[in-house]
Amino acid sequence: MKSQLHRTISYARFCELKLLAKNTIGIEDPFRTFQLQACLKLYLEYNHQIQETEQLIEYEFSKVTSHIQTIPGIGLISAAGIYSEIGGISRFNHPDKLVSFCGLDVSYYQSAKQNSQEEWLNVGLLILDNTL
């Protein structure tokens, strides 16, 4: 079996196989070819719609004065999503209220017998949670 793995092919055969691989999916089934072409068309259409949506978001967000995008790791699309959910940081008079609104608040439990335990609270906006 090892000798079969190290078998070489001629350059002409390599070029023929390369051309076949470039123009087919390896199976000459008209139905599968149709399915693949339909999926490719859907992919290209969705990709085009995503690009148009991102351009629209960029245009609309450029009208807003916000410093959310200056946070490291926050891109334009994420900044626009965060801004659309919270409506501007100026709505919150204390940073803790913004953190709580976003669902990033930490709960502390403490008693005389136990040390403090930290637990993330599962509250906040689902869309904002997915963005963060």
If asked whether residues 53 and 79 sit together in one domain, one would say no
Average pLDDT of the residues of the chain:
76
Helix 95-102 vs helix 76-86: crossing angle, to nearest 10: 100
Is 55 a domain residue?
yes
If asked whether residues 96 and 108 sit together in one domain, one would say yes
How many whole angstroms separate alpha carbon 76 and alpha carbon 74?
7
- Domains: count for the chain: 2
If asked whether residues 71 and 132 sit together in one domain, one would say yes
> Looking at residues 51-78, what average pLDDT do you find?
86
Is 126 a domain residue?
yes
| Spatial CA neighbour of 124 closest among 99, 103, 95 | 103
Is 5 a domain residue?
no
Residues near 106 by Cβ (< 8 Å), separated by ≥ 6? 118, 119, 120, 121
Tokens of 7: 């078998």
Confidence (pTM)? 0.52
63, 92, 113 — which closes off a domain? 63
Is 79 a domain residue?
yes
If asked whether residues 73 and 126 sit together in one domain, one would say yes
Task: Answer whether 132's CB lies under 8 Å from 102's CB.
Answer: yes
Name the residue range of residue 44's domain: 26-63
pLDDT over 90 percentage in the chain: 15
5-59 residue pLDDT tens: 456 788 888 888 888 777 666 667 788 888 888 999 999 999 999 999 999 998 9
If asked whether residues 93 and 132 sit together in one domain, one would say yes
Q: Is the pLDDT of residue 69 over 70?
A: yes
Q: How far is CA 54 from CA 17, 30, 126, in A?
A: 40, 36, 21
